[in-house]
Amino acid sequence: MTSETAQKANTPSSDQIRRAPKVLLHDHLDGGLRPGTIVELARASGYTQLPETDPAKLGVWFHEAADSGSLERYLETFSHTVGVMQSRESLVRVARECAEDLAEDGVVYAEVRYAPEQHLEGGLSLEEVVEAVNEGFREGERIARENGHRIRVGALLTAMRHAARALEIAELANRYRDLGVVGFDIAGAEAGHPPTRHLDAFEYLKRENNHFTIHAGEAFGLPSIWQALQWCGADRLGHGVRIIDDIQVHADGSVKLGRLASYVRDKRIPLELCPSSNLQTGAADSYAAHPIGLLRRLHFRATVNTDNRLMSHTSMSREFEHLVDAFGYTLDDMQWFSVNAMKSSFIPFDERLAMINDVIKPGYAELKSEWLFRQTTSTSDSATEEG
């Protein structure tokens, strides 16, 4: 076999991308609803604000409305998903379908986040919100298992950065630790809402030896990343894509990292990169120009994520398809991203290691061996491969 054919054999097909075991660290529960579910939940709860009531049109509406070039306008679309997630039944259903959809897409481990404080309008308590979502995830895992898929889903509790409930939500995350919640996050509009406003929450979680990630370096640049790491002590960066502003690429191809970029790489700080979402909010112009290409080459702890499957009209498989097209990534690259993500998850080390060694690596080995058993269609094929 020529090296060119070997390369081809290692370039994943769409079907292989879907079947490959994938790990997702950054996905919003309220950003991943099925359009048909939104329509049904709106009808059942009397929510009358939906811009479309036909599921297909509603799906297109979300994608187009979110395709605005601004994070603030992107976030406005969440009023409709959050609007129909105000009862126990709706939260159980959305969480169940989330786990089912991810499993169907070949995701084996996911950390899915949502902001409990946004789901209290129907009279639920914060605890009832968390318990409903956990119940849905467990049901979804069970249904996935019955359908021949294996997935494990952990919840991250998000506090909204413009609000003032971060400490309360951090305490909630701590209370439900080992009960389905694996960590904490802050999200919402970045500019004007620095993470240091919520230092009390982060300091509390550190004292409790708990884990957290912070949305930083998405709509706002290096100061936000610096604060998230050096003031707040984040374990991971939600997005972090603007770390690119601290990396100089010279005309001769040589690269110089600034102090912050060096710190992020040296300390193996995980970057929860979300290419499609970044294209919509203006953080990158195209997949080919997305910083993930350079960050992967420079061996940052880069991971691939969906952010909001509904608003960004995406899935883990779609994100990888875009990256395979843009950068020629192979199954080895996919495995590298997946192992990076698993290493960076918030579950205990022994469980991460078992996922890597017993699920992810064997999964990729199986896919990589498929060319050995491929069907040959004509004799001319084998003739060209003899050289």
Ligand X SMILES: O=c1[nH]cnc2c1ncn2[C@@H]1O[C@H](CO)[C@@H](O)[C@H]1O
Q: Rounded to whole angstroms, how far apart are CA atoms 296 and 288?
A: 13
- Indicate the residue among 75 and 261 with the shorter CB distance to ligand X: 75
CB 17 within 8 A of CB 363: no
Q: Is residue 27 part of the contact set for Zn ion (CB under 5 A)?
A: no
- Indicate the residue among 90 and 277 with the shorter CB distance to ligand X: 277
Q: Rounded to whole angstroms, how far apart are CA atoms 298 and 278?
A: 20
- Indicate the residue among 74 and 204 with the shorter CB distance to ligand X: 74
Binder of residue 82, out of ligand X, Zn ion, none (CB less than 5 to 8 A by kind): ligand X
Active site residue 218: yes
**Residue type (1 letter), 98:** C
Q: Is residue 111 part of the contact set for Zn ion (CB under 5 A)?
A: no
- Indicate the residue among 71 and 264 with the shorter CB distance to ligand X: 71
Q: Is residue 25 part of the contact set for ligand X (CB under 6 A)?
A: no
Among residues 201, 219, 218, which one has the least CA distance to residue 210?
201
Tell me, by CB under 5 A, how many residues bind Zn ion: 1
Q: Rounded to whole angstroms, how far apart are CA atoms 74 and 187?
A: 13
Q: Is 70 helix (H, G, I), strand (E, B) or coil?
A: coil
How many Å is the Cα radius of gyration of the chain?
A: 21
∠ CA(6), CA(11), CA(15), 5° rounding? Answer: 130
Q: Is residue 319 part of the contact set for Zn ion (CB under 5 A)?
A: no
The one segment of 90-98, 107-115, 125-133, 141-149 that binds ligand X by CB under 6 A: 107-115
- Contact with ligand X (CB under 6 A): which of 307, 319, 321, 333? 307
2: exposed, middle or buried (Cβ count in 10 Å: 0-12, 13-18, 19+): exposed
- Residue 74 CB, shortest distance to ligand X, in Å, is 7
- Contact with Zn ion (CB under 5 A): which of 131, 307, 321, 333? 307
Task: Find the residue with minimal CB distance to ligand X.
Answer: 187
**Residue type (1 letter), 168:** E
Among residues 365, 366, 364, 360, which one has the least CA distance to residue 340?
360
Residues annotated within a binding site for Zn(2+)? 26, 28, 215, 307
- List, by residue number, the catalytic residues: 218
Which residues of this protein are in contact with ligand X, per CB under 6 A? 28, 30-31, 71, 75, 78, 82, 113-115, 118, 158, 187-188, 215, 218, 277, 307-308
> Where on the chain is the footprint of Zn ion (CB under 5 A)?
307
